[in-house]
Amino acid sequence: MMFNWLKRYMPRSLYGRAAMILILPVVTLQLVVTTAFIQRHFEGVTEQMTHAVSREINLLIGHVNSLNGRPESRDELAELVDGLDLSVVLDVKEPQAHQRRWFDFSGLVVINTLQRFVPEVSKVELPDNRIMRIYVRTEQGTAQVQFDRVRVSASNPHQLLVVMVGFGGLMTLISYLYLRNQLRPITKLAQASEAFGRGRHIPYNPGGAIEVRSAGNAFLDMRSRIERQIEQRTMMLSGVSHDLRTPLTRLRLGLSLLDDEEAELLERDVEDMQRLLDEFLSFARGASEGEPEEVDPIALVQGLVEDGARGGRDVSLGKVNGEGVVSLRLVGIKRAVENLIGNAVRYGSRAVVSLELTDKFLRIRVEDDGPGIPVEDREEALKPFARLEPARNQNKGTGVGLGLSIAADVARAHGGVLRLGDSDTLGGLQADIVIGR
């Protein structure tokens, strides 16, 4: 619970999380090694080497202070300087401040160590990696002492860091390439699952590690069972609906030979039965009828509104935003929108169809001025054969309760959803088919 705030900063994708799991330990290890290296090499070794040089500087200062004007004293100093491999200039003007490049971290250790062990050191100049100059106060004035930088700090101290970072980056790249190959089967499984959820069937062969292969085989078995169940349901309901058409046809033919008023009522009942059978057959065909194809949803909705208006329905086209094509099952989406329009004009007096198309989603909205559906009954209304008499005026038409269920199945087959709400413009039901792109 205490680390929940970190979740918003964590990567969302599998690639991102795998890369973080791979790179984070490498970076952490390099930071730990770098810290230990700096403390041991840059500080410890540099301090020891500088301490050794400070003894030579103290010896030099003692000889300079003992100069008494004798020529042999100068000769002794020159011999000492040559022996210590130093360059000394007496009575010079010292600089105003220490000189050091900003990234020369070992230079800080050199300056601090010299001033700690040689109190006479006033200023230190570290212009580059080759030489260094120190200024010491003596009885003969300020002396400039110059010697090689390698005597106080190790040469090329950055080599270990460069090698560590270089090989760390190389191994991270190799590991990432290998990890990408391991994650590719998972990505393919996710794509196949997403496509099946949208009603599409794409080829998929399990691969990768044993666990991924097991998950892939389980997905293929599940997909086969679902497809068999859908096929069996479709065949059963289609067969029942088809077999009932024959006696209904005979009944209609027999009733047409009668002329009394009672026969007219019976014919009306037969027509209602025929319409109910058609709805059963539509439900049996399912939402996956037809193959996905590139469709202009704006032209599709305009055509459905025009067909509804020609059929005597009070349906009009509302706001239309966006343009483009979407991969849709044309038969299924037509059936879904026609069912929503049919429900709207059955339970209300008019229907308005609007559309919004963006880069992320397609939304087809059907609104009516009917009584609507209460919030607590909307989930039940999406179930097959649901009849909500208290919420919807069933006196305006008979139904078997499959219109909203078919529309919801079509939306799910396209990877979308059917949402029910209240219409702000007409006051009745608002049904939205929302499909992601």
Q: What is the pLDDT of residue 128?
A: 85
Phi/psi-derived region of residue 324, left when phi > 0, alpha when psi is between -120 and 50, beta in every other case: left
Q: Could you tell me which residue, 341 or 129, shows the higher pLDDT?
A: 341
Residue 6 in any domain: the answer is no
Residue 424 in any domain: the answer is yes
pLDDT tens, position by position, 277-319: 776 666 666 555 567 788 899 999 999 999 888 888 889 998 9
CATH number assigned to the domain comprising residue 395:
3.30.565.10
Residue at a domain's end among 261, 285, 309: 285
Residue 395 binned pLDDT confidence (cut-offs 50, 70, 90) = very low
Residue 184 in any domain: the answer is no
User: Does residue 150 register a pLDDT over 80?
Assistant: yes
pTM (two decimals)? 0.52
Q: Are residues 243 and 128 in the same domain?
A: no
What total number of domains does the chain contain?
3
Place of tokens 């003007």: 93
Residue 422 in any domain: the answer is yes
Residue at a domain's end among 157, 183, 205: 157
Q: Nearest-CA neighbor of 89 among 45, 140, 55, 37?
A: 140
Residue at a domain's end among 256, 285, 314: 285
CATH number assigned to the domain comprising residue 74:
3.30.450
Q: Is residue 106 packed enough to be buried (19+ CB in 10 Å), middle (13-18) or exposed (0-12)?
A: buried
Cβ neighbours of residue 43 closer than 8 Å, sequence gap 6 or more: 106, 109
Q: What does the block give as tokens for 335?
A: 């059936």
Range of the domain at 414: 289-436
Q: Which stretch of 157-161, 190-194, 207-211 has the lowest confidence by average pLDDT?
A: 157-161
CA distance 316 to 368: 11
Q: Are residues 276 and 397 in the same domain?
A: no
Q: Are residues 153 and 25 in the same domain?
A: yes
Q: Are residues 309 and 384 in the same domain?
A: yes
CATH number assigned to the domain comprising residue 249:
1.10.287.130
Residue 185 in any domain: the answer is no
